[in-house]
Amino acid sequence: MAAREITYVQALNEALREEMRRDERVFLMGEDIGIIGGVFKVTQGLYEEFGPERVRDTPISETAIVGAAIGAAIAGMRPVAEIMYMDFLMCAGDQLINHLPKIRFMTGGKLKVPAVIRTQYGLYRYAAAQHSQFYPAFLMNIPGFYIEVPSTPYDAKGLLKSAIRDENPDIFIECAALYRIKGPVPEEEYLIPLGQADIKREGNDVTVFALSYMVHVALSAAKKLEAEGISVEVVDPRTLNPFDKRTLIESVKKTGRLVIIEPDHKTAGVGAEVAAIVAEEAYEYLNAPVIRLAAEDIPPPFSPKAYNAFLPNEEKLINAIKKVMKYKR
């Protein structure tokens, strides 16, 4: 496939445009997504091409947005609803928790809800406690959702297209700090299967399970450690449900060590589940204790200095990798 370099935002925009051209049932809804193209410009130009019926500016009501998406999906449409900040998903808590993921189960599969809820978290944007939260483990604990967490433009486009075509309700979580990064994205159409992790870098000494933005932190650390003779394998889950256990476990079997780096809170976070999976299914292959690096268990601070200390970083990751390398069994 031919590969050009485009941004994460452009990749998302292309995915939406291509799916709207392919299937007239696909429509978008959300705050300021139409005339101004979204506050992050993900939907820029789509209003002009598809018009107000398929790119709908909504009132500032997350409950209305998610509720309307549920109704439209049941009626046969394929809505893609944007919640501007992940923090505000819980404003639609009743619709999001009690209805969206349960309707297909409660009707024995007779009703499908193929809705995609797009949202983003404000990591590294210093947007304080109510505009910076990232809580994927909370959503993982609610059966019925498919959850995507793309870390690259390539993954963002391929996963969003797959989510739109999926018959399940999908929560598609973007990271605002990734919107302007560039990466290779083929011009030809492609899909990424949901539930398929990706090894972003192969290595032999230690597995780093990296979530969302932390994939880039892990890749940078791995490059530096290579000069010191430490070979790091970076595993990106890409989706949290379905979760690809096989890729994770096979990597741990090969390296014998696991470090987890995630931008959500450590207590009961994604890393806790990942560590439990490895403890249950690959314990005998571990040569060292599992180390989890995550955000501190406090609300995200506003101060840039405090916020940088609040999050895991490359230095902490390098130190953790060197620590597990000291263990031999």
Residue 209 banded pLDDT, cuts 50, 70, 90: very high
Give the mean model confidence (pLDDT) for residues 71-88: 97
Q: Which secondary structure element, helix H or strand E, spans residue 121, and what is its range?
A: strand 116-121
What does the pLDDT read at residue 286?
97
Which domains are present in the chain?
Answer: 3-186 (3.40.50.970), 198-325 (3.40.50.920)
pLDDT tens digits along 233-248: 999 999 999 999 999 9
Contacts (Cβ under 8 Å, ≥6 apart) of 311: 123, 124, 263, 295
Q: What pLDDT shows up at residue 317? A: 98
Could you give the residue ranges of the DSSP H alpha helices within the chain?
A: 8-22, 46-50, 62-74, 93, 103-106, 136-140, 153-165, 214-226, 245-255, 270-281, 304-310, 314-325
pLDDT of 115 higher than 60: yes
Q: Who contacts 69 (Cβ-Cβ below 8 Å, separation ≥6)?
A: 29, 79, 81, 100, 115, 117
Q: Is 265 a catalytic residue?
A: no
Give the pLDDT of residue 187.
93
Banded model confidence at residue 2, pLDDT cuts 50, 70, 90: low
> Is the preceding peptide bond at 242 cis, omega within 30 degrees of 0?
yes
Least confident stretch, 2-11, 44-53, 72-81: 2-11
Q: What is the pLDDT of residue 128?
A: 84
Of the chain, the percentage scoring pLDDT greater than 70 comes to 99
Model confidence pLDDT, tens digit, residues 149-196: 999 999 999 999 999 999 999 999 999 999 999 999 999 999 999 999
Give tens-digit pLDDT for 50-78.
999 999 999 999 999 999 999 999 999 99
Pinpoint the alpha helices (H) of 33-131. Answer: 46-50, 62-74, 93, 103-106
Catalytically annotated residue among 99, 131, 216, 265: 131
164-to-172, 174, 225 alpha-carbon distances in Å = 10, 15, 39
- Look up the pTM and report it: 0.96
Q: Report the chain's mean pLDDT, rounded to a whole number.
A: 96
pLDDT-derived band at 47 (thresholds 50, 70, 90) equals: very high
Helix axes 153-165, 8-22, angle to 10 degrees: 30
Q: Is the confidence at residue 1, as pLDDT, over 60?
A: no
Check residue 304 and give its pLDDT: 87
How many Cα atoms sit within 13 Å of 57 on the Cβ side? 13
